[in-house]
Structure 1
Amino acid sequence: MAVILSVQGVDKTYRSAGRSLAVLQQINFEVETASTIAIVGPSGSGKTTLLGLCAGLDRVSAGDIVLNGISLDALGEDERARVRNQHVGFVFQNFQLLPTLTALENVMVPLELRGERNCKATAQELLDKVGLADRGHHYPLQLSGGEQQRVSIARAFSNSPKILFADEPTGNLDADTSETVENLLFSLNRDMGTTLVLVTHDLELASKTQRIIRMKGGTVVSDTMENNVL
């Protein structure tokens, strides 16, 4: 199986008030195309920092991250933005929708930024896929938390990403809504062949992935295959 993401000897250190804080130390792993993986660990273990580095949102202090064959460390900010635009989707805990735009318009934004044609029809099709065909004209504040998260998933899939990074995607949702969102993420992974990388505190959600990486104190303490076929 091809490798979509390779993390090689990655360190991340922040400097503050003349002191260095090592957040990640010597992280090494590879992720296969179309697989599902969860990164778990206590608060402060470096999970979200690692996710941001893997997605090219921030730079490593040492090591390298290779995303779809592209070394992110070798790229400038504009080039990394292009890589994200072409290959990456994001789902965040707090949805990150633009409040002044409707659900349909939120999904259309990345399509318009890429200069694609038929943006409205494509965005509507994506909303259909996440079960919100009749909610496109609603603004985020008119939608429930679960509906907002489904809009953000539709937006994340607007560029048919090769890899989707989800940071606590069910963290602000109740149990029933969480299950709906989880099923949606895994079905889109299956139907579109998109690699799914989750950061989560929810061990039940993590157990539904094929592989779990456990972190503590900025290092990987275990990396286990779950043998799940969803």
Structure 2
Amino acid sequence: MSVQSILKVQRLTKTYATAAGPLTVLQEVAFEIPAGGTCAIVGPSGSGKTTLLGLCAGLDQPSTGTVELAGREIGGLTEDERALVRNESVGFVFQNFQLIPTLTALENVLVPLELRGNGVKESDAAELLARVGLGGRLDHYPMQLSGGEQQRVALARAFINRPRILFCDEPTGNLDGDTAHAMADLIFGLNRERGTTLVLVTHDLELARRTQRVIRLRSGAVISDEATGI
């Protein structure tokens, strides 16, 4: 893998066994993303976008093909080894926030540090929450926050480990227009500030066009892979 590449996907295929027979949801997908690059993966529902993101992040294993993430081929790793690569190099933002309801905003942001075994750095978490506009919400629980505020907590949590690559799965999908636009500004702003690679799955073509590159999927296959000129 090129020294400057953080993610390299080669001939990635994912097939599931179903009662009706094998179901292939990804077919021979291949691309490479340089460190610090931004890329959107778009396509209709059922095109394989979220499956592809999960494979790239090591949340699942391909049927065939390989994924090299942060310098390691992750397909042959154990679940614990893949989790270590994720903890060291990866941040996540999901459509449904995935906050822990019994923890405050500050405590939710600190979770990745605790899983990683690092010393708790409340000042770093508080600084990130202030950066996303929640400096006055540190002690609030998810149920006390709006959807947009919960997604801001999730974004702060994604950056607490200073990830080399950020995977976002429909990060604005559950937000209204103005809130979604503000969230997109925060994602791209933090990405630039911290030099993080960004891989974004979205239905929002306007959001996709803010990245440097757009990969389009249909029926599990790449039908176009184009630079946006950004």
Query: C-alpha distance in 2, partners of 1:17/1:119?
Result: 49
Query: C-alpha distance in 1, partners of 2:13/2:118?
Result: 37
Q: Percent identity?
A: 63
Query: C-alpha distance in 2, partners of 1:116/1:10?
Result: 34
Deviations 1:70-110 (A, max 9, x none): 00112011000000000000000000000111101100111
Q: Specify the code of the residue in structure 2 equivalent to 1:109.
A: V
Query: C-alpha distance in 2, partners of 1:223/1:30?
Result: 11
Query: C-alpha distance in 2, partners of 1:34/1:110?
Result: 22
TM-score normalised per structure 1: 0.97
The residue number in structure 1 matching 2:109 is: 107
The question of whether the paired residues in 2 share the 8 Å contact of 1:47 and 1:215 is answered with: yes
Q: Specify the code of the residue in structure 2 equivalent to 1:177.
A: T
Deviation at 1:129, TM superposition (A): 1.6
Q: Paired residue for 2:153, among 142, 151, 154?
A: 151
Q: Specify the code of the residue in structure 1 equivalent to 2:56.
A: C
Deviations 1:157-212 (A, max 9, x none): 11100000000000000111111110011011111000010000001101111100
TM-score normalised per structure 2: 0.97
The question of whether the paired residues in 2 share the 8 Å contact of 1:112 and 1:119 is answered with: no
Q: How does 1:1-230 map to 2 (within 5 A)?
A: 2-17=4-19, 19-228=21-230
Q: Which runs of 4+ in 1 moved over 3 A?
A: none
Deviation at 1:138, TM superposition (A): 0.5
Deviation at 1:18, TM superposition (A): 6.5
Query: C-alpha distance in 2, partners of 1:168/1:184?
Result: 14
Query: C-alpha distance in 2, partners of 1:18/1:215?
Result: 24
How many residues get paired? 228
The question of whether the paired residues in 1 share the 8 Å contact of 2:110 and 2:120 is answered with: no
Query: C-alpha distance in 2, partners of 1:128/1:151?
Result: 10
| Unpaired stretches in structure 1, ≥5 consecutive residues | none
Deviations 1:16-39 (A, max 9, x none): 227210000000100111111100
Tell me whether 129-138 or 10-19 shows the greater mean CA deviation: 10-19
The question of whether the paired residues in 1 share the 8 Å contact of 2:114 and 2:120 is answered with: no
Query: C-alpha distance in 2, partners of 1:227/1:67?
Result: 25
SS of the residue aligned with 1:121? helix
